[in-house]
């Protein structure tokens, strides 16, 4: 398996974990459990960002061009419905 495949597989697994953590957090009534899962999610987000940076540095991932302030405001308006 190539480095690129391993990094991409890891990023995909971390993204799936983040989705799972978000679901659990939003559906958990037990405050202590919720806080534990939030800490796990935060750690997973850090790992995801670290792997993202590895992928970017190795040329496995090319980020999209930066959005202009106008584009950001347009998307914000569309998402918020205003």
pTM: 0.75
pLDDT reading at 71 higher than 90: yes
Please report, for residues 7, 9, 37, 48, 68, the alpha-carbon distance to residue 4 in angstroms, rounded to integers and kept in the order given. Answer: 5, 8, 29, 15, 30
Please report, for residues 18, 38, 40, 73, the alpha-carbon distance to residue 63 in angstroms, rounded to integers and kept in the order given. Answer: 20, 27, 26, 20
pLDDT of residue 72: 93
Q: What is the pLDDT of residues 36-62, one digit of tens each?
A: 999 999 999 999 999 999 999 999 988
pLDDT reading at 82 higher than 70: no
Distance (Å, whole) CA 61 – CA 34: 33
């Amino acid at each position: 398996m190539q480095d690129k495949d391993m990094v991409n597989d890891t990023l995909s697994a971390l993204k799936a974990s983040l989705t799972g953590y978000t679901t659990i957090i939003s559906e958990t009534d037990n405050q202590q459990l919720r806080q534990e899962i939030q800490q796990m999610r935060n750690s997973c987000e850090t790992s995801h960002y670290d792997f993202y940076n590895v992928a970017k540095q190795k040329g496995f991932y090319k980020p999209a061009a930066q959005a202009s302030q106008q584009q950001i405001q347009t998307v914000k308006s569309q998402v918020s419905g205003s």
